[in-house]
Chains A and B, each alone.
Chain A
């Protein structure tokens, strides 16, 4: 096995373009495009806190079911892709979370806004904002 120890990878022809050969050997893709540029696992109830993260500077609790995650290094534009999921222990408590421009806070190059609501039919507070014990968010796209 060969091993390369480096601190920084830079494309030779174009600094931001390093190609890798596909698994099938018939295509190439940009290494940078396949990498998550930020991800975070955090506690969303009580005093919010970050369990683990990449490229995340801070987490803000904006209110019930409403969080902002700020990036350490900004994205190049606002066309990034976000996936968000939750971890529930109590299956009777359903929710859906999404990246949003909630409460007038617009999607920017430096943060993602996450908001969630109760998703059950049988409760009076259906569609009400809901805090969740553990949230997980991943961002793909172009870094600045």
Chain B
């Protein structure tokens, strides 16, 4: 290797305006791969302190380090069943009326269901990724 830098922090002198913004702003700030069943086992995560099973198809997660605001960008993708004809969807949801609180700078709510009214599922592999600004 021609050059090697060993450091614990990289900081731009004019944050957010030059190339290093992609290092700071473009890094995934939190992700989690978990089993959405009754135990909500976390397989692998970054910046996640806990995941809570609120009900079938409904989970909440808490960040270890908070975001600076609630306008982070989160995407959820479940492992879909390999059989059946239902059309599934998964989304980040405020879902504050179902045992959770609004998705915020400290947490998210996620919901997974199919096309039928109020019909929810647990996926054995839910994957959530969050980018945005940490506090």
Residues of A within 8 A of B (CB): 1-9, 12-13, 19, 31-32, 34-37, 39-41, 51-52, 54-55, 83-89, 91-92, 94-96, 119-122, 126, 136-138, 143
CA distance A40 to B133 in the complex (A): 12
Question: With A and B bound together, what is the CA distance between A137 and B72 in angstroms?
Answer: 10
CB of A36 within 8 A of CB of B26, answer yes
- Chain A residues within an 8 Å CB radius of B9: 1-4
Assuming the A-B contacts A83-B75, A87-B103, A138-B73, are A35 and B22 also in contact, with contact meaning beta carbons closer than 8 angstroms in the complex?
Answer: yes
Cβ–Cβ < 8 Å partners of B22 in chain A: 32, 35, 37, 54-55, 143
How many angstroms from the CA of A143 to the CA of B74 in the assembled complex? 22
User: Which residues from B are CB-within-8-Å of A91?
Assistant: 93, 95, 98, 111, 113, 118
Instruction: Count A-B contacts at CB 8 Å.
Output: 144
User: Which of chain A's residues have a CB closer than 8 A to the CB of B7?
Assistant: 2-4
Whole-angstrom distance between the alpha carbons of A80 and B19 in the complex?
A: 19
Find residues 59-81 in chain B having any chain A CB closer than 8 Å to their own CB: 69, 71-77
* 3 nearest A-B pairs in the assembled complex, by CB-CB distance: A35-B26, A51-B71, A83-B75
Pairwise interchain contact B28-A36, C-beta atoms closer than 8 A = yes
Kindly provide the distance from the CB of A83 to the nearest chain B CB, expressed in whole angstroms: 4
Q: Give the CA-CA distance A86 to B111 in the complex, in Å.
A: 11
> Could you name 28 residue pairs across A and B whose Cβ atoms are closer than 8 Å?
A3-B7, A4-B11, A6-B11, A6-B20, A7-B19, A8-B20, A12-B3, A19-B1, A36-B26, A39-B132, A40-B73, A41-B72, A55-B22, A83-B77, A85-B92, A87-B91, A88-B91, A88-B95, A91-B111, A94-B89, A95-B89, A96-B87, A96-B89, A121-B115, A137-B73, A138-B75, A138-B131, A143-B22
CB of A143, distance to nearest CB on chain B (Å): 8
State whether B5 touches A4 (Cβ < 8 A): yes
With the chains together, A40 CA to B111 CA distance in Å?
A: 21
- B1-46 CB contacts (< 8 Å) to partner A: 1-3, 5-14, 18-23, 25-28
CA distance A39 to B11 in the complex (A): 20
Query: Known pairs A8-B20, A87-B94, A87-B103. 17 more at Cβ < 8 A?
Result: A3-B7, A3-B8, A5-B10, A6-B10, A6-B20, A7-B19, A9-B19, A9-B23, A12-B2, A36-B131, A39-B26, A52-B72, A85-B74, A87-B92, A89-B95, A120-B115, A136-B92
* In the complex, chain B residues whose CB is within 8 Å of the CB of A35: 22-23, 26-27
Q: Which residues in B have their C-beta under 8 angstroms from that of A31?
A: 23
